[in-house]
Amino acid sequence: MAESNSLNHKFMKNYDEITSQNPHSSDPRFLQMNQFNHCAYRYTMFCRCAKELGDDDPRCKFQYYRAQIACTVEQLEEWDDQRQKGKFKKCLKSEKRRRKYEERYEERMAIIYHATFYIYIYYFDIFFLSF
């Protein structure tokens, strides 16, 4: 009985070392064998966080850790190099989309402002001209 407990203890000790070196992902959205989409998603989340908060923020470090879980070392090194050179496409696309959205938002707000201004003038004229 004592032997089985010691073997179990040795196994669990080794198991803990293995899982600490190779943690698993518990994201139910990525259940397939090929984890490239999961890897790309996690690295993109890290990239966006790093742009907003900086690489040293703990939330961004956690996103990078999650990318390390899903990605191979070679893939991370390649994307890190691209990001340092400013050529990582996924981050550039999100920035371009954000700029386009901000431009469209400003245009729409200007249109709404002018439309409400003319509506106020119209009702003002109707109200004061009726007396």
pLDDT digits (tens, 9 = 90+) for 83-129: 888 877 766 555 566 667 677 777 777 777 666 666 666 666 666 66
> For residue 67, which of 29, 35, 19 has the smallest C-alpha distance?
35
- Look up residue 22 and give its two tokens: 């190779």
pLDDT at 78: 92
Length of the chain: 131
Residue given tokens 């259940």 in the structure block? 31
Residues 6+ apart with CB under 8 A from 47: 83, 88, 90, 91, 94
Q: Where are the domains of the chain?
A: 33-129
38-53 residue pLDDT tens: 888 899 889 888 888 8
Residue-wise pLDDT for 8-21, tens only, equals 555 455 555 555 55
Amino acid making up residue 9: H
State the pTM of this model.
0.52
